[in-house]
Each structure stands twice: as C-alpha cells, then as structure tokens.
Amino acid sequence: MASAKRLGILGSTGSIGVSTLDIVAAFPDQFEVVTLTAGNNLVRLEEQIRRFRPQMVAVLSEDGAKQLKQRLGDEAPQILSGIEGLVACATHAGIDMVVSAIVGAAGLVPTMSAIESGKDIALANKETLVTAGSLITEAVARHGVRLFPVDSEHSAIFQSLEGHRMDDVRRLILTASGGPFRNRPLEEMVDITPADALAHPNWSMGRKISIDSATMMNKGLEVIEARWLFDVPADRIAVHIHPQSIVHSLVEYIDGAVIAQLGIPDMKTPIAYALSHPNRLPLDLPALDLCSLRNLTFDDPDLERFPCLGLAYDALAMDGTAPAVLNAANEVAVDAFLNEEIAFLDIARIIGATLKGLKVKPLEHIDDVLRADLWGRREARRLIDSQAEGGQAC
C-alpha cells in the first residue's frame, strides 16, 4: 500500500482549509497533516491541532503564538509566527504537498517558497498566480513540481484537458454564477450593503471571495489565473454566466467538440482531485441528479454592471506589474467596503483609478511583485481617503 501523502495546509482555518481537513479526516490512511497555518482564528486552530496532531503550526502574530502555546501546554507542537513561520510551514522537510489556501496576496511568498523547496502545490490561493503568474510558472518548471488547481473552474478545465493536446484547444470557457446581483439593475446597485453582498446564492466561501463574486472580480482573477495555469492568452478565455453552477467550466476544441466537467457545487470535489490526482476519492456527497435540473442556462456577462471583470482583462493586457496592482487595489477596496467606508460601486472605481495611475514595470523578481503590491495598496488607500474627505477620488 502507498504511504500517506504528507500535507502542509496554509490557511487551515478558512473555508478551503476546513474542507481540506474534512477530506483528510475521511481518508486517514491516505493523508497525514504535518503543518498547519492560520491567521487570527486561534480557537479553530487549537481544535485542529488537538485533532490532527501536526508537527509544526504558524499564526500571524507573536502574541497569538504565545497564547496558543499556553492553551495547548504539553500538547503544543512547534508554534511559530509571522511570515517566517508561514514559510517554515510551507517548506517543512516532512511535507510532500502544500495546500495553498491563505486568502489574498499574503499567500504569495509562502507558496513560492514551497515551490522552491520542491513541494507539489494544491493551489486555492488564486492571488498567487494573479500577482506573479510568469514567475510562478517559471519556478514550477525549474523545480519540477506539480501545480494542481483547487478553484472549481480551473479544476474543471484541468479535467477537461486531460488526454488532449493543448495545440487542439480553441478556447477555455469559464462559467460564473453571476453572484447575488446577477439580475439587479445598475440603479439599484447603489445601496448594496456588505450583508447583501456576502449572501452568495450557490457557494459558501470566505468573506473576501464572496465580495469578489458579487463584483465579478473573482471571475476576473480567475481569467488571469487560467491564463497562467494553462498558458492560453486572454483573447481565448471566455466567461459565460451560468447561474446554476453545475457546469464548472468547459474547453472548446478546434474540431468544435466542447468538453465540460459537471457536478454539484461543493469545493470538496476539486480539493479531493487536487490532493489525490490522478486517483479519485469516494466522497460522501449527493450525486448530481441531472433529471431534476430543469434547465442549464448560459449568458454573456454584463461589463457595464460588473466593470471589475473588464478591469481584470485590462490588467492582463497591461502585463508586468498591472495584475499585482489590480489585486492589491481590490483587496483594499473590498476591505473598505466591508468596513462600510465606501459603496459597492466604488470598489470598481477605486481599482480603475489605481490602475490608471500606474506606470507598468516588468516582473523579473518576486520583489517587483511585492513593491507593486505595496504601491497598489497605498494608492487605493489614498483614493479612498481622498473620497472620504469629499475630494474627487476617481
């Protein structure tokens, strides 16, 4: 019998992290948890440590690490903090695969470190490829590691490509649910609240990705992610609105054949496939009952109501540091919206204005990404503050 795959899970306390641990718990012979990382949710991390007995964990702050040590007493594994702690958990010698499930650009450095230390990656943190796609794909090739997509759309494309030649691909088609405001007229989008935007119709996800889904920036980030994962240019990546979230994405071939992957909307399926590829795990999920689905519909996205999607294509065309700045501005704007500092429609305005002020530079090193990220955050913050002071932000 093959030995258990040894995992490091970055962001274990989040939505993807918890689903990953559910799979580990269901298949204890196949997976072993070696490292876990969290941000601030010490309560959940403590439960996970008691249950999965990792050798090493990391949290964001030194104070959090101290508290955790006190709470666990003799049961404490090695507990680290900060970016050094995240990197140590991502590069631990006893790991075969890293599940990259931190949210936002904070996932980039630990994921790159994992690649550079030869770990295979199950990638949920799309921001890694969005901000540093060319550097990541180059590092994956140089270190001979494998990068498996966790995002359901990219997992669907990955599965629809298996056994086929990339030369035969005409287009990738990403599906999008359209989020909670799919049918809302523009004039009624003015007073959308964070609570409205967090209520996704089909998927249960973390707060940031839920807002990204509501603005459709999530799909924009996914277009950039697909460009790097599959090495297909943006003009051959289409987005279709598919409110039922059953067809997770499709590949169109040069002979007109279209191959899709379908399933109920549950992240456990793509996570399990990334963990166990090429094998499939017998998950305890309801079967997809095609006959009970009366219709599956597809439509073009409305870029006037959802300008974030267009901004992502723009950033991809600008190339270099532009996608990292797009992502940074989006993170700051989403935070400001959740803190009720700006309105829903301001998110796209802030990102657009940030991109407008950017002098694009090429990406040669990860430091170029980190500098662009910092610049994008500061510029977006400046625009938000100037809007709050009654100035013309954008």
Ligand X SMILES: NC(=O)c1ccc[n+]([C@@H]2O[C@H](COP(=O)([O-])OP(=O)(O)OC[C@H]3O[C@@H](n4cnc5c(N)ncnc54)[C@H](OP(=O)(O)O)[C@@H]3O)[C@@H](O)[C@H]2O)c1
The answer to whether 48 contacts ligand X (rule: CB under 6 A) is: no
The DSSP-derived string for 266-301 is -THHHHHHHHHTTS------PPP-GGG------B--
Task: Candidates 4, 26, 27, 41: give the one binding ligand X (CB under 6 A).
Answer: 41
Q: To the nearest whole angstrom, how small is the minimum distance from the Cβ of residue 248 to ligand X?
A: 11
**Pick 12 or 245: Cβ nearer ligand X:** 12
Residue 98 forms beta bridges with which residues? 8, 121
How many Å separate Cα 35 from the centre of its chain?
Answer: 20
The answer to whether 330 contacts ligand X (rule: CB under 6 A) is: no
Question: For ligand X, what does the binding mask look like between residues 71 and 90, x meaning CB under 6 A?
Answer: ---------------x----
Q: To the nearest whole angstrom, how small is the minimum distance from the Cβ of residue 323 to ligand X?
A: 14
What is the number of the residue whose Cβ is closest to ligand X?
14
From CA 94, how far away is CA 91, in angstroms rounded? 9
Q: Of 101-160, which residues contact ligand X (CB under 6 A)?
A: 101-103, 106, 124-127, 151
Record the tokens describing residue 98, joined without a space: 């890293």
Per CB under 6 A, the segment of 100-108, 132-140, 164-172, 361-369 that binds ligand X is 100-108
**Pick 240 or 387: Cβ nearer ligand X:** 240
Q: Which of 249, 7, 224, 31 minimizes the C-alpha distance to 119? A: 7
Task: Candidates 28, 40, 50, 235: give the one binding ligand X (CB under 6 A).
Answer: 40
**Pick 272 or 393: Cβ nearer ligand X:** 272
Q: To the nearest whole angstrom, how small is the minimum distance from the Cβ of residue 3 to ligand X?
A: 27
Ramachandran assignment for 227, one of left (phi > 0), alpha (psi -120 to 50 degrees), beta (any other):
alpha
**Pick 97 or 106: Cβ nearer ligand X:** 106
The answer to whether 308 contacts ligand X (rule: CB under 6 A) is: no
The answer to whether 326 contacts ligand X (rule: CB under 6 A) is: no
Per CB under 6 A, the segment of 37-45, 166-174, 284-292, 379-387 that binds ligand X is 37-45
Per CB under 6 A, the segment of 13-21, 138-146, 171-179, 352-360 that binds ligand X is 13-21
Q: To the nearest whole angstrom, how small is the minimum distance from the Cβ of residue 151 to ligand X?
A: 4
Q: To the nearest whole angstrom, how small is the minimum distance from the Cβ of residue 365 to ligand X?
A: 22
**Pick 125 or 175: Cβ nearer ligand X:** 125
Per CB under 6 A, the segment of 9-17, 159-167, 231-239, 299-307 that binds ligand X is 9-17
Task: Candidates 33, 205, 216, 229: give the one binding ligand X (CB under 6 A).
Answer: 205
The answer to whether 11 contacts ligand X (rule: CB under 6 A) is: yes
Other Cβ atoms less than 10 A from the Cβ of 104: the count is 22
Angle at 123 between CA 120 and CA 125, to 5 degrees: 140
Q: Which of 305, 138, 288, 310 minimizes the C-alpha distance to 220? A: 310
Record the tokens describing residue 210, joined without a space: 């839920």
Task: Candidates 7, 15, 33, 156: give the one binding ligand X (CB under 6 A).
Answer: 15
Size of the site for ligand X (CB under 6 A): 29
Other Cβ atoms less than 10 A from the Cβ of 93: the count is 7
Per CB under 6 A, the segment of 14-22, 129-137, 298-306, 350-358 that binds ligand X is 14-22
**Pick 40 or 339: Cβ nearer ligand X:** 40
Instruction: Report cis status (omega within 30 of 0) of the bond before 282.
Output: no
**Pick 38 or 369: Cβ nearer ligand X:** 38
From CA 46, how far away is CA 68, in angstroms rounded? 7
Burial class of 244 by CB neighbour count within 10 A (0 to 12, 13 to 18, 19+): middle
Per CB under 6 A, the segment of 38-46, 175-183, 250-258, 276-284 that binds ligand X is 38-46
Q: Which of 197, 296, 309 minimizes the C-alpha distance to 248? A: 296
Q: To the nearest whole angstrom, how small is the minimum distance from the Cβ of residue 124 to ligand X?
A: 3
**Pick 17 or 133: Cβ nearer ligand X:** 17
What does the buried/exposed string (b/e) look like for 371-393 if buried means 16 or more CB atoms within 10 Å of the residue's CB? ebbebbbebbbbbbeebeeeeeb
Q: Enumerate the H helices of the chain as residue ranges.
A: 15-26, 42-52, 62-72, 82-91, 108-116, 126-143, 152-161, 194-198, 207-215, 217-230, 268-276, 307-318, 322-338, 346-356, 366-388
Q: Which residues bind ligand X (CB under 6 A)?
A: 11-17, 38-41, 60, 86, 101-103, 106, 124-127, 151, 203, 205-209, 267
